[in-house]
Structure 1
Amino acid sequence: MSTELILASAIFVAIGLILTCVFVLSRFVGPKNENSEMKNSVYESGVTNPIGTTNIRFSVKFYLVAISFLLFDVEIIFMFPWAINILELGYFGLFKMFIFMGLLFAGLIYLYKKKALSWD
């Protein structure tokens, strides 16, 4: 075996032992809260007694906005490498990016037509 492999496995084992010791020590040395009523109570933005139930239904528009945000946010992941390598890709890469932007624009128009972006 190589010395690098032995060193890496020794470091891995040492980190595992150190983490195990820290978790065991924190269990014995750390503060204990014996009051389980306080531990299981709800605390929300300074309000200790919330009003209403937690089983309320949200509108589907919340989820539509969240999913559309994720879809349009992920486009940046594809645009950044293209912007870095624009000179190497040439006109073919520019044409591909115009197709990609056109598809994204079509998706945005679809969301606008479905009124997923307007709040009632």
Structure 2
Amino acid sequence: MSEHGGAVSLASGYFHAYTLVGVITAAGVLFVAFAFAAGRLLRPVVPTREKFLTYECGVDPVGEGWAHTQVRYYVYAFLYVIFAVDSIFLFPWATVFAAPGYGATTLVEMFVFLGFLAIGLLYAWKKGVLEWT
């Protein structure tokens, strides 16, 4: 009987943790909903023609709403994401590298990974993507 009572106690503690997470989540949702409702009720509503104009950094809109963007900005953003992902992979690698028996294997794997990144960076450099003109 004592084993059965212990299992019930363990399950009760398990579900109690999820109940606590649910209550905190519900409180957060209610807080955000209350903040939005209070903002909607307390703000002044005075629609004017100027308020419906497009606003861009304090400058009155001139010309069309369509603007061309250089592709190189996206390439820089893409390269940033690649190297940010690389830095994320370095942390678990360092943890495994410190474990006994995995040093040489993980070192070779990391050099292969860094080699692929270096080849990608060299390719981008040879194509002239990294030139700011």
TM-score (structure 2 length as normaliser): 0.69
Note the alpha carbon deviations across 1:52-89, whole angstroms, 9 max, x for none.
43312122222222112211221000012222332213
Gaps of 5+ in 1: none
Q: In 2, Cα distance between the equivalents of 1:59 and 1:10?
A: 48
Match of 1:84 among 70, 91, 95: 95
1:74 and 2:78 are equivalent in the alignment: no
- Percent of pairs with identical residues: 33
Q: Quick one: which amino acid aligns to residue 72 of structure 1? A: F
**Aligned partner letter, 2:43:** P
Is 1:26 equivalent to 2:39 in the alignment?
yes
Taking the aligned partners of 1:59 and 1:39, their CA distance within structure 2 comes to 31
Partner amino acid, structure 2, of 1:39: K
- Structure 2 residue matching 1:85: 3-state secondary structure: helix
- Distance 1:34-1:6 versus aligned 2 partners, 3 A rule: same
SS across alignment from 1:101: helix
Cα distance in structure 1, aligned partners of 2:24 and 2:83: 42
What pairs up with 1:1-120 in 2 under 5 angstroms? 2=12, 4=16, 9=22, 12-28=25-41, 30-47=42-59, 49-88=60-99, 89-120=102-133
Using the size of structure 1 for normalisation, the TM-score is 0.75
Q: Which has the higher contact order (CA 8 A, sep 6+)?
A: 1
RMSD value, Cα: 2.7
Instruction: Specify the SS of the correspondent of 2:49.
Output: helix
Rg larger in structure: 2
Which AA in structure 2 matches 1:83? A
Q: Which runs of 5+ in 2 are unaligned?
A: 1-10
